[in-house]
Amino acid sequence: MKFAVVAIALMITGCTPLPDSYPVPEQRPMSHGPDPEGLQAFLVFDNPRTPAYLISDFLDAPPGQSWRWTNSKPTLRLNTAATENIRFRARGAFPHQSHQSLMPVTLSVLLNGKLLGRTTYKAAGDFVFQKDVEPELLQTNGENEVRLELDKVFVATDGVKLGMILAELGFEKRK
Amino acid sequence: MPAVFYILLGWLLTTSACVALGAILLKRLRVQFSRDESPTLWFVTGSALYSLLIFALGILHLYHRGVIVGAAIVVIFAATRMGALRLPTGQLPALPKTAKRLLTVCGVPFLALYLCNAMAPEASPDGSSYHLGLVAKYYREHALHPVTTNMYAALSQGMEMIFLGAYAVGRHSAAALMHFNFLIALPWLMVCYGRRIGQPAAGIAAALLVFASPVVGVDGISAYSDVAAACLIFTLFTVLNEIEQGPDNLGLVVLAGVLSGFAYAIKYTLFPALFLTAIYLAWVYRARVFRPLLIVAASSAVSILPWVVKNIVWWQNPLAPFFNHWFPNPYMQYWFEIGYRAQLAKYTLPSWKDWPLDVTVYGAQLTGILGPVFLLAPIALLSLRTSAGRRLLLAAFFFLATYPSNIGTRFLIPALPFVALAMTLTLASIRFAPAVIAILHVVLSLPVAIPRYSVHYAWRLDKWPWRQALRIKSEEEFLNSRLSTYAIARAMEQLVPSGRRVLGFSQVPEAYTATIYLVGFQSAEGNGLRDIFLTALIKERHPVMRLRLRVPAVKTRAIRVVQNRDDSRSQWSVGEMRVWNSNAQVKRAPLWRLRAKPTLHEVQKAFDNSFATRWLTDHGRYNGMYIEVDFGREESIDAVELLQANDQPWEGYHVEVRSADGAWTKPKTTIESEELPPYQGMRRAVVEELLRRNVQYILLQPDDYGLDDLQLNAKVWGVEEIADRGGSHLYRLLPKEEFEALPR
């Protein structure tokens, strides 16, 4: 019994009451300022940093808009650290109003200048292009250039070339 | 084979110390059982004392091999000197020859199967992660100390103390063998019980039903505690029956108290042992029950109090890791507890209609099977016709009472001996029926038979790893084949410098690494770190909704925002709280003191200027929750700003200010809301927050949420993969200077 009392007393010496209030903690340096991150592997077009990803052939859009019109060869950069078990996926649309009479349209996707895949869409509407990516097509230590090429585009009355609408695209892990 | 030598030495020495302590106790109490039962009862009762002894050594920082071995030798020597180990002369009625043969033919193959599995490297999920993970940690640090980042360290650890004694000499397998002792003690005590009540055949058949049961076997050879719990409870039952026969021996009452207390020390869910004991005593002693009850209270307290006091002191909750609503503390989250309990009460079982077949035949949802013969368990109710049957079913009822709190198959084990005996007692009136049922069960429980009816991943024994048991084949190879995360645990050990912390979201075999590994769900700290990590991945958690609560300009010493809604299904969370005056933010000052109700200890997360952290109430919303700033002097203010996630209501808050007399007044509050643009740099902000919170590494297993993103966007996070073992990835979080030096 004496032993138990000593043991319990030893434990109680470690007892500390909780405070009833706390001081202001160290302030973290977060703000709405420039983004310290690099480019990501997947781009959703409502990302405020979208312009940083785009290289050419995208039409302007207001910040935060969740989709973009492209011209015939939209090109952008994406960054991925992984090369194994990767799939490329793009989600977009050929609007009925503009593209109905234009179809079929062939979409080719090039990664770092090499052909990843090609698909012909026979009807207007939403589309998802996806294809597994061989590791040798990707660069891990730098940006990967992604180019989407269309064999034809709709030319609006004001002369603007409208290739397709893109909502999101990039690299994902394959399950 | 030095490893085998140490395993056997650790096992035998610890077993002998338990036996010696039990023999001394029974001698001092002047309690004597039959020659057949005595060594087993010495072991079981001695385990309670040995566990207590190791607990005390831990508190005194004496976990050294020499001390533990020395203590065991002293105890064995003392028992020998006292003559306590002399076997009594009285014997139970002899076993019929046929029954003996049945026991040998059916029992010996399972005994061999269990022995070689118990001696093989410990590879059970919970045994290798926390049961022995904690034991290894305590032993490494030579003391019992608070491990408030692991909720399992808050459970009563009576069994872990026994493991520790054996681990000190023979490491993991010696510890598992201590559980194996209870696996062989339990059926033997059941056989003896059958002989006591004049039903030896029923006793043997029931013992085989329990011993060969697949879940009992796999649990009993692992560093778990369920079979020990069942054995202990059955020993208590034996003692209670003995009290009924000889109520004048108060030594038996003390013994019942010791065993009831140790039941709690082994497993919280065995607390009904105390009630069962009380009911038995009330039945036996009637009006004279007060003294025996006091004796039981005192003798059980010896085993219970150390764990309760430990939890009060280290966890601020005597019943940690549960009941955090009654005992709020910074170590466990009530919100997590609600979900955790709900999960244990349901697992993935689609419906209760599936329960009987799942626990007996399939083992698909509830982990482990009792064996198809237990589908006949309802016949146990017919034993109510006999007095033994009524006693057995009363005990079964008590130990099934806590089962709904965790419906895993192994949580049926403590009640199983009683149910099995009641079943075979019912069948005893039909000649050969108990033997037939036992043989059928044994055949169906053979490792080759089980896959024919259960799901292939049911938790069971499937091999005879005798080469691994004797360490003829390498331990490393066996563990790699059994534990998918063993390799990454070893990689952590090699690659993570001592003292650095690794955050993960699933268990790894911590018994095989000395690395400090925090599992997200195992503590309030872990859950908080997980919440921060997920903020980078889930946009809906970003505090982009700005609420400005305007009040008439006032000078005050303190201000609070009170939440007015009642909704038990959702928490209130605040990313940042800021105070304003005349369109300028009142600068946060060292004089400020922050308070909140509830979850005061998390309040700083709403004042750290980080969008990666948030204060969560840890309770469902109720009117009157608040978050408060005491300025420490008078401040002029006219608005409070809350930055919250989009899932938070935009209204239902008011501001209160403290007047000069200390009373809180409620000025008219007007709420303006505005959605802010998304934040940038959240991934990196999360990494820096984790580093600030002393986490330097992160481990993601294949099923962990966020692994894909970390792999794809390693540079965005600012992490470096340093190991990939079997799909588990270990990342080093790059400190700020290294991240900023990365090429863009």
DSSP per-residue codes, B363-428: -TTTTS---GGGGGGGGGGGGGGSHHHHHHHHHHHHHHTTGGG---GGGGGGGHHHHHHHHHHHHT
Residue B613 φ/ψ region, left for φ over 0, alpha for ψ in the -120 to 50 degree band, beta for the rest: beta
Which range, A78-92, A156-170, B373-387, is most confident? B373-387
CB-based contact, A5 to chain B, within 8 Å: no
Q: Averaged over B541-568, what is the pLDDT?
A: 96
Q: Averaged over B534-563, what is the pLDDT?
A: 94
Task: Read off φ and ψ for residue B665, nearest 5 degrees.
Answer: -115, 165
Please choose, from the candidates B120, B191, B79, B650, the residue with its C-alpha nearest in 3D space to the C-alpha of residue B434: B191
Q: Could you read off the pLDDT of A83-140 as tens digits, one per residue?
A: 888 999 999 999 999 999 999 999 999 999 999 999 999 999 999 999 999 999 998 6
- Provide, as residue numbers in chain B, all residues whose Cβ is less than 8 Å from the Cβ of A30: 609-612, 679, 681, 685
CB-based contact, A3 to chain B, within 8 Å: yes
Q: Which of residues A15 and B530 earns the better pLDDT score?
A: B530
Rounded Cα distance, A129 and A117, in Å: 9
- Provide, as residue numbers in chain B, all residues whose Cβ is less than 8 Å from the Cβ of A63: 677
Q: Which of A10, A37, A83 to mutate to test the interface with B (most CBs of B within 10 A)?
A: A37
Task: Give the pLDDT of residue B708.
Answer: 87
Torsion angle (degrees, nearest 10) of CA B452, B457, B458, B462:
70
- Per DSSP, helices labelled H in B401-509 are 416-427, 433-444, 466-469, 475-482, 486-495
C-alpha Rg value of chain B to the nearest Å = 29
Q: Averaged over B518-524, what is the pLDDT?
A: 96
Min Cα separation B646/chain A (Å):
17
Q: Could you read off the pLDDT of A64-99 as tens digits, one per residue?
A: 788 999 999 999 999 888 888 899 999 999 999 999
Q: Which of A28, A133, A140, A144 to mutate to test the interface with B (most CBs of B within 10 A)?
A: A28
Task: Read off φ and ψ for residue B369, nearest 5 degrees.
Answer: -130, 150
Q: Could you read off the pLDDT of B427-441 as tens digits, one per residue?
A: 999 989 999 999 999
Q: What angle do CA B659, B660, B664 make, to 5 degrees?
A: 25
Contact (CB<8Å) A82/B712 = yes
Beta bridge partners of A146: A76, A111
Q: Could you read off the pLDDT of B130-164 as tens digits, one per residue?
A: 999 999 999 999 999 999 999 999 999 999 999 99
CA atoms within 13 A on the CB side of B480: 11
- Provide, as residue numbers in chain A, all residues whose Cβ is less than 8 Å from the Cβ of B60: 7, 10
Indicate the residue of B310, B607, B684 with minimum beta-carbon distance to A36: B684
Min Cα separation A139/chain B (Å):
12
Q: What angle do CA B289, B295, B296 make, to 5 degrees?
A: 90
- Provide, as residue numbers in chain A, all residues whose Cβ is less than 8 Å from the Cβ of B146: 14
Beta bridge partners of A126: A93
Q: Which residue has the tokens 């999920």?
A: B125
Min Cα separation A35/chain B (Å):
5
For residue A135, count other CB atoms closer than 10 A to its CB.
11
Q: How confident is the model at residue A37 (pLDDT cuts 50, 70, 90)?
A: low
Asked if residues B295 and B247 have their Cβ atoms less than 8 Å apart, the reply is no
Chain B, nearest residue to A23 by Cα:
B593
Q: How many Cβ pairs within 8 Å bridge chains A and B?
A: 140
Min Cα separation B683/chain A (Å):
8
Burial class (CB in 10 A: 0-12, 13-18, 19+), B248: exposed
Asked if residues B20 and B85 have their Cβ atoms less than 8 Å apart, the reply is yes
CA atoms within 13 A on the CB side of B224: 23
Q: Are strands B501-504 and B516-519 parallel, antiparallel or unpaired?
A: parallel
Asked if residues A39 and A143 have their Cβ atoms less than 8 Å apart, the reply is yes
Q: Averaged over B623-637, what is the pLDDT?
A: 96
Min Cα separation B564/chain A (Å):
22
Residue B323 φ/ψ region, left for φ over 0, alpha for ψ in the -120 to 50 degree band, beta for the rest: left
Task: Give the pLDDT of residue B437.
Answer: 97
State how far the alpha carbon of A18 is from the alpha carbons of A21, B282, B313, B631, B654, in Å.
9, 43, 12, 21, 28
- Beta-carbon contacts of B191 under 8 Å, excluding residues fewer than 6 positions away, are B95, B103, B200, B203, B204, B207
CB-based contact, A39 to chain B, within 8 Å: yes
Angle of helix B38-59 relative to helix B65-82, nearest 10 degrees?
A: 140
C-alpha Rg value of chain A to the nearest Å = 26
Min Cα separation A165/chain B (Å):
23
Contact (CB<8Å) B712/A172 = yes
Indicate the residue of A26, A36, A80 with minimum beta-carbon distance to B681: A36
Asked if residues B563 and B623 have their Cβ atoms less than 8 Å apart, the reply is yes
Q: Which of residues B538 and B253 earns the better pLDDT score?
A: B253
Instruction: With a cut of 60, say whether residue A16 has pLDDT above it.
Output: no
Q: Could you read off the pLDDT of B64-109 as tens digits, one per residue?
A: 999 999 999 999 999 999 999 999 999 999 998 998 999 999 999 9
Q: Could you read off the pLDDT of B202-220 as tens digits, one per residue?
A: 999 999 999 999 999 999 9
Chain A, nearest residue to B702 by Cα:
A175
Instruction: With a cut of 70, say whether residue A11 has pLDDT above it.
Output: no
Rounded Cα distance, B641 and B659, in Å: 21
Q: Could you read off the pLDDT of B436-483 as tens digits, one per residue?
A: 999 999 999 999 999 999 999 999 999 999 999 999 999 999 999 999
Instruction: With a cut of 90, say whether residue B426 has pLDDT above it.
Output: yes
Mean pLDDT taken over chain B: 96
Contact (CB<8Å) A35/B680 = yes
Contact (CB<8Å) B712/A36 = no
Indicate the residue of A14, A29, A41 with minimum beta-carbon distance to B713: A41
CB-based contact, A174 to chain B, within 8 Å: no
Chain A, 48-107: which have a CB under 8 Å from a chain B CB? 48-49, 63-64, 79-82, 86
State how far the alpha carbon of A56 is from the alpha carbons of A59, A93, A148, in Å.
9, 19, 11
**Size of chain A, expressed as the number of residues it contains:** 175
Contact (CB<8Å) B716/A37 = yes
CB-based contact, A143 to chain B, within 8 Å: no
Q: How confident is the model at residue A47 (pLDDT cuts 50, 70, 90)?
A: confident
Q: What angle do CA B417, B421, B424 make, to 5 degrees?
A: 140
Q: What's this model's pTM, rounded to 2 decimal places? A: 0.89
Rounded Cα distance, B330 and B316, in Å: 8
Q: How confident is the model at residue B1 (pLDDT cuts 50, 70, 90)?
A: low
Q: Are strands B501-504 and B697-700 parallel, antiparallel or unpaired?
A: parallel
**Core vs surface per residue B186-196: b (16+ CB within 10 A) or e:** bbbbbbbbbbb
Task: Give the pLDDT of residue B546.
Answer: 96
Contact (CB<8Å) B314/A79 = no
Q: Which of residues B20 and A38 earns the better pLDDT score?
A: B20
Strand, coil or helix: B655: strand
Q: Averaged over B642-665, what is the pLDDT?
A: 94
CB-based contact, A7 to chain B, within 8 Å: yes
Instruction: With a cut of 90, say whether residue A40 has pLDDT above it.
Output: no
Q: Which of A6, A24, A43, A144 to mutate to test the interface with B (most CBs of B within 10 A)?
A: A24
Task: Give the pLDDT of residue A33.
Answer: 43
For residue B507, count other CB atoms closer than 10 A to its CB.
20
Instruction: With a cut of 60, say whether residue B320 has pLDDT above it.
Output: yes
Q: Could you read off the pLDDT of B28-62 as tens digits, one per residue?
A: 999 999 999 999 999 999 999 999 999 999 999 99
Instruction: With a cut of 80, say whether residue A9 has pLDDT above it.
Output: no
Q: Which of A22, A31, A169 to mutate to test the interface with B (most CBs of B within 10 A)?
A: A22
Task: Give the pLDDT of residue A17.
Answer: 65
Q: What angle do CA A111, A115, A116 make, to 5 degrees?
A: 70
Structure tokens at B518: 């925090």
Task: Give the pLDDT of residue A4.
Answer: 57
Q: Which residue has the tokens 């996707």?
A: A109
Torsion angle (degrees, nearest 10) of CA B292, B294, B295, B297:
120
